[in-house]
Amino acid sequence: MPYSCKDMRQLLQTTTDYAIRYLEGLETRPVAPSLEAISQLAQFNEPLPEQPSEPEQILRLLDEVGSPASMAMAGPRFFGFVTGGSLPVTLAANWLAGAWDQNCGLYRITPATALLEQVALRWLLDVMHLPAKCGGAFVTGATVANFTALAAARHAVLERVGWDVEADGLFGAPPITVVVGEEVHPSLLKALGLLGLGRNRVVKVPVDSQGRMRPEAIPNLTSPAIICTQVGNVNTGACDPVEAICQHAGESSAWVHVDGAFGLWAAAAPSLSHLTAGMEAADSWATDAHKWLNVPYDSGLAFVRNTSALRAAMAVTAAYLPTINDRRNPSDFTPEFSRRARGVEVWAALRSLGRSGLVELVERTCCHARRFAEELQAAGYQILNQVVMNQVLVSFGDAETTHRVIAQIQADGTCWCGSTVWQGQTAMRISVSSWATTDADVEQSLAAMLRIAEKCRI
């Protein structure tokens, strides 16, 4: 029997119904999947079928077995990691762009997706107050955005000392001094490793009580050098003083990179922009769209002031084929050549939110975070960080008690938070990043947290 899809319309409509029912169910289902749902996943463990099956049957299986075993990350009360949900307009755009099935590398072949990315890039730089002429890349997440921007950095700092790293690699190249803060995100170290710059040969600069790099502790540097700063510590939300670091770097012409996986979005909000003030003096920036912008996975962004350094690092044909300015070839700027149209979702989010909607989304989630901190503190629990952004660290007592409370909160299912260790102290981390979280969700989650913590106290 040859493979066919007899009724595509019916298949896609049924799937839409499954998806809508799933999303509507997130309000009331426990956030974590039940043990029973997880045990049902064994049904997927079958040998490869010898014969084709009906597409309808495949989607039914996915919905019946897969949906209940998913974590309700798309819902309003998932506060683990820094995730965000998907704005409905971005999920819908994702569906339509999926149907387009464009291979988004070249303007000439896929003008719609290439132009939408170009427009989204312009809007992003505008809303984050970054230089309008930056080059940009739509990649899978902040790990790859860091990788992409740091590849441009590697190119530029070695070019200045007469070395062509794309052509000749790092064998025999002048060594680059790479500086990070003690609180660097582990994924940035991974990016450095992928670039041949080494995860361990970095210079680690001490940080303050909130995890901010201390600029006066940065050693004097000689070229070639790269300083990796961070805007939005994944535990505290704190931001490195990028402006002061750039001043320090200026003396050695070191390249300053900013990992702002979620924190970069603070630059868009007037009430938070003091946290990122002066970061536009840096050379490159990485952020996620799948965190605070609330678009579907996977979606990250790299911005590089020196567009030609980014192009030199990423284009297949190096600098030989200049992109005509109004016809940007996306693949000149990304590690990937063929890829999906993830910029369409970014465009849809920004087009739908507008500047004020984005600001409101960022400020509202921070407001929820402050509410969590205030009420937990009022109930006698210790807040370990200054709640400057959307991250809250709470301790329920000693490490064992805190772990017990977290496990029971996860099992209870009203909401979901994970554990972390902040400067030696075990904590529960609450990250409010989803567009879907309302005041009522915060109240409901607080009630569950306080009820469980009180019970564990005795």
Ligand X SMILES: *Cc1c(COP(=O)(O)O)cnc(C)c1O
Our finding on whether 158 is near ligand X (CB under 6 A) is no
Q: Which residue is nearest to ligand X (CB)?
A: 141
Q: Which amino acid is at 196?
A: G
Cα–Cα–Cα angle for 303, 307, 309, rounded to 5 degrees: 105
Q: Which stretch binds ligand X (CB under 6 A): 113-121, 218-226, 250-258, 259-267?
A: 259-267
Q: How far is the CB of 12 from ligand X (least distance, A)?
A: 29
Our finding on whether 234 is near ligand X (CB under 6 A) is yes
Please select the residue that binds ligand X; options are 183, 240, 283, 288, rule is CB under 6 A. 288
Our finding on whether 282 is near ligand X (CB under 6 A) is no
Q: How far is the CB of 263 from ligand X (least distance, A)?
A: 7
* String of contacts with ligand X for each residue 76-115, x by CB under 6 A: ------x---------------------------------
120 and 347 in contact (C-beta within 8 Å)? yes
In terms of CB distance, is 117 or 259 closer to ligand X? 259
368 and 432 in contact (C-beta within 8 Å)? yes
User: Footprint of ligand X on residues 316-375 (CB under 6 A)?
Assistant: none
In terms of CB distance, is 142 or 373 closer to ligand X? 142
User: Footprint of ligand X on residues 123-152 (CB under 6 A)?
Assistant: 141-143
* String of contacts with ligand X for each residue 436-455, x by CB under 6 A: --------------------
Q: Edge to edge, what strands does the sheet with 391-395 contain?
A: 382-383, 391-395, 425-431, 418-422
63 and 22 in contact (C-beta within 8 Å)? yes
Please select the residue that binds ligand X; options are 183, 259, 280, 441, rule is CB under 6 A. 259
Our finding on whether 210 is near ligand X (CB under 6 A) is no
Q: How far is the CB of 188 from ligand X (least distance, A)?
A: 6
In terms of CB distance, is 142 or 430 closer to ligand X? 142
Our finding on whether 240 is near ligand X (CB under 6 A) is no
Q: By rule CB under 6 A, what count of residues binds ligand X? A: 15
Q: How far is the CB of 246 from ligand X (least distance, A)?
A: 19
Query: Structure tokens of 56?
Result: 């309808």
Q: How far is the CB of 194 from ligand X (least distance, A)?
A: 12
Q: Which stretch binds ligand X (CB under 6 A): 94-102, 226-234, 238-246, 387-395?
A: 226-234
SS (H, E, C) the chain: CCCCCCCHHHHHHHHHHHHHHHHHHCCCCCCCCCHHHHHHHHHHCCCCCCCCCCHHHHHHHHHHHHHHHCCCCCCCCECCCCCCCCCHHHHHHHHHHHHHCCCCCCCCCCHHHHHHHHHHHHHHHHHCCCCCCCEEEEECCHHHHHHHHHHHHHHHHHHCCCCCHHHHCCCCCCCCEEEEECCCCHHHHHHHHHCCCCCCCCEEECECCCCCECHHHCCCCCCCEEEEEEECCCCCCCECCHHHHHHHHHCCCCEEEEECCCHHHHHHCCCCHHHHCCHHHCCEEEEECCCCCCCCCCCEEEEECCHHHHHHHHCCCHHHCCCCCCCCCHHHCCCCCCCCCHHHHHHHHHHHHHHHHHHHHHHHHHHHHHHHHHHHHHCCCEECCCCCCCEEEEECCCHHHHHHHHHHHHHHCCCECEEEEECCEEEEEEECCCCCCCHHHHHHHHHHHHHHHHHHHC
CB count within 10 Å of CB 169 equals: 11
Please select the residue that binds ligand X; options are 33, 136, 224, 232, rule is CB under 6 A. 232
User: Footprint of ligand X on residues 371-410 (CB under 6 A)?
Assistant: none
Q: Which stretch binds ligand X (CB under 6 A): 148-156, 183-191, 207-215, 448-456?
A: 183-191
Please select the residue that binds ligand X; options are 155, 185, 305, 339, rule is CB under 6 A. 185
User: Footprint of ligand X on residues 291-310 (CB under 6 A)?
Assistant: 300
Our finding on whether 431 is near ligand X (CB under 6 A) is no
In terms of CB distance, is 82 or 302 closer to ligand X? 82
Our finding on whether 187 is near ligand X (CB under 6 A) is yes
Q: How far is the CB of 95 from ligand X (least distance, A)?
A: 22
Q: Which residues bind ligand X (CB under 6 A)?
A: 82, 141-143, 185, 187-188, 230, 232, 234, 259, 261-262, 288, 300
